[in-house]
Homo-oligomer: A and B are copies of this chain.
Amino acid sequence: MGVTQTHLFTEEQNKIAQMAKAIAHPARIAILQHLIKTNSCINGDLVMEIGLAQATISQHLRELKEAGLIQGSIEGTRVNYCIHPENWTMLRNLFHSFFESYSNCTTPSCT
């Protein structure tokens, strides 16, 4: 009990859910938006930008990295992070086709 039964679902369903989970925290949205804004690949001054502890930011960065949304490169004692372009595009397409699979109508299908 308490563990998601991934075997019940298609690979696509699991993938969409997994990716949604990766961005399902405001801190991770804030990190991504800051990386996009500064472009020039920021490191732990995300700790300053956002008000969370260093360990917490590091943890969120790891989750984003594991999801493939960002990548980091070591530069001395620092680590520069930036968006992972290919994976970002893949995720965008995945969500796009998911949302577009519902052809929008003005009235709901159940009264």
A24-63 interface (Cβ within 8 A of B): 24-30, 33, 36, 39-41, 50-52
- Docked pose: A95 CA to B100 CA in angstroms: 12
- Is A101 touching B33 in the complex (CB atoms < 8 A)? yes
The size of the chain A interface, using a CB distance under 8 A, is: 56
| Chain B residues closer than 8 Å to A82, beta-carbon distance | 108-110
- Is B17 touching A29 in the complex (CB atoms < 8 A)? yes
- Docked pose: A101 CA to B104 CA in angstroms: 24
- Is B102 touching A52 in the complex (CB atoms < 8 A)? no
- Docked pose: A26 CA to B17 CA in angstroms: 5
| Chain B residues closer than 8 Å to A28, beta-carbon distance | 17
